Amino acid sequence: MLKPSKRIFSLPKYTPGKPIDELERDFGIENAIKLASNENPLGPSPKAKEAIIEAAAKSHLYPDGDSYHLKKAIALREGILPNQIVLGNGSNEVLELIGHCYIEEGNEVLMGEYCFIVYPIVTMLSEGTIVRVDMPNLVHDIASFKSSITESTKVVFLANPNNPTGTIVSTEEIIGFLEFLPKNILLVVDEAYSEYVEPKYKLEVSSMINKYDNLLILKTFSKMYGIAGLRVGYAMGSVDLISNLEKAREPFNVNIIAQEAALAALDDDEHIARSIKVNNEGMLYLKTEISKLGLKTYPSYANFLLLEFPLDANNIYEELLKHGVIVRPLQNYNLSNCLRVTVGIREENQKFLNALKQVLGSIKWLML
């Protein structure tokens, strides 16, 4: 029997949100909803949809291997140069590129106690050593990150807002951390949800990456821009950092339809404004109604809420499936008493709340 490398056996498993059609097949139900993967409930922008249709006619051709037009548009928007951007098949691929280029055996990689599960996966595949940093109240503690730095530290992963908690740290704290951080340690700030936060919480990309040669800022088109199924993400950093990532990047990694859709989505300010409005209204509605059930939620600066239950929440998750509602269980994140719920449109939020009330009413151990 052919055996894989030893590190494969200890890898945490990334479990995506259950597909809607799978749930409907399993339970013989219709009109299920998915609030598990933090997708934009409004879907792609109208401009992106048009671009997808037009680009499909060119899908027999290889895409632009350098994504010239998309890089140019991002560069113009962020006030940087195209060669300060690397595009990936989702920001997940960019994380893998970071592992290939900057993590090897003997390197320590810092990440929050409750962080995006791909960070430890990438670290282990690159034979680095994972160092978990305490997160009191589920918030990144920059002082703890500082005290965890050693001579072996090579990379620090910091999602802001954080997934799966939704919590955030200030730009002042991040800048202070960069000032403290030795120049031979890479800080990766993952801003997958930055479009949902107020400007004061966003790093000013141009000035930051031109000042700090050891900073990478990641963004994605999978959340606010609504094209998660097409897989487009990117990193921004110094020319030297990006040049190394480009060497490890596979050719034609962003397909022609994804490039055209992302380019159009970037230009649809009306869709972005509507998406923010729907998210803000939905967030307030969910928080208000969930508090009436006596459940704890954590402050969220993204497009999802973290709900905490008195005991293991997997039973809640399983029962919600029977009601046609898919949310995200968090056992793999060491948050087994929590569920993560994406903010949907009004009808989806109502369906989730109705299902949750029914499920809670049937579980005797939960005090309402």
Half-sphere CA count of 83, side-chain side, radius 13 A: 5
Looking at residue 367, its pLDDT comes to 45
| Nearest alpha carbon to residue 260 among 104, 49, 89 | 49
Looking at residue 267, its amino acid is: D
Greater confidence, 156 or 2?
156
Q: Where are the domains of the chain?
A: 6-44+270-362, 46-266
Report, as an integer, the average pLDDT of 187-195. Answer: 97
Distance CA 197, CA 253 (A): 29
Residue 299 tokens read as: 């402050």
Distance CA 143, CA 34 (A): 37
Per-residue pLDDT tens over the stretch 263-276: 999 999 999 999 99
Distance CA 176, CA 142 (A): 9
Residue 111 pairs in a beta bridge with: 132
DSSP 3-state assignment of 367?
coil
Looking at residue 359, its pLDDT comes to 94
φ and ψ of 51, to 5 deg: -65, -35
Report, as an integer, the average pLDDT of 290-301. Answer: 95
Distance CA 33, CA 92 (A): 25
User: So what's the architecture of 6-44+270-362 in CATH?
Assistant: Alpha-Beta Complex (3.90)
Contact 13, 332 (CB under 8 A): yes
Residue 329 pairs in a beta bridge with: 339
Distance CA 300, CA 338 (A): 14
The four Cα atoms 171, 176, 180, 182 give a dihedral, to 10 degrees, of 30
Half-sphere CA count of 283, side-chain side, radius 13 A: 20
Contact 215, 80 (CB under 8 A): no
Bond from prior residue into 164 cis (ω within 30 degrees of 0): yes
| Nearest alpha carbon to residue 44 among 323, 312, 267 | 267
> Which of 7-11, 51-55, 227-231, 353-357 is predicted least confidently?
7-11
Report, as an integer, the average pLDDT of 296-300. Answer: 95
Looking at residue 41, its amino acid is: P
Q: What is the mean pLDDT of the chain?
A: 94
Distance CA 164, CA 142 (A): 18
Per-residue pLDDT tens over the stretch 57-97: 999 999 999 999 999 999 999 999 999 999 999 999 999 99
Matching CATH number, 46-266, of 3.40.50.850, 3.40.640.10, 4.10.780.10, 3.30.1300.10: 3.40.640.10
DSSP 177-209: HHHHS-TTSEEEEE-TTGGGS-GGGS--HHHHH
Using the predicted structure, report yes or no on whether residue 225 has a pLDDT greater than 70.
yes
Report, as an integer, the average pLDDT of 101-125. Answer: 96
Distance CA 360, CA 364 (A): 8
3-state DSSP helix/strand/coil % of the chain, to nearest 5: 45, 15, 40
Whole-prediction pTM: 0.94
φ and ψ of 187, to 5 deg: -105, 120
Burial letters 260-280, b for 16+ CB under 10 A, else e: bbbbbbbebeebbeebeebbe
Looking at residue 366, its pLDDT comes to 47
DSSP 3-state assignment of 165?
coil
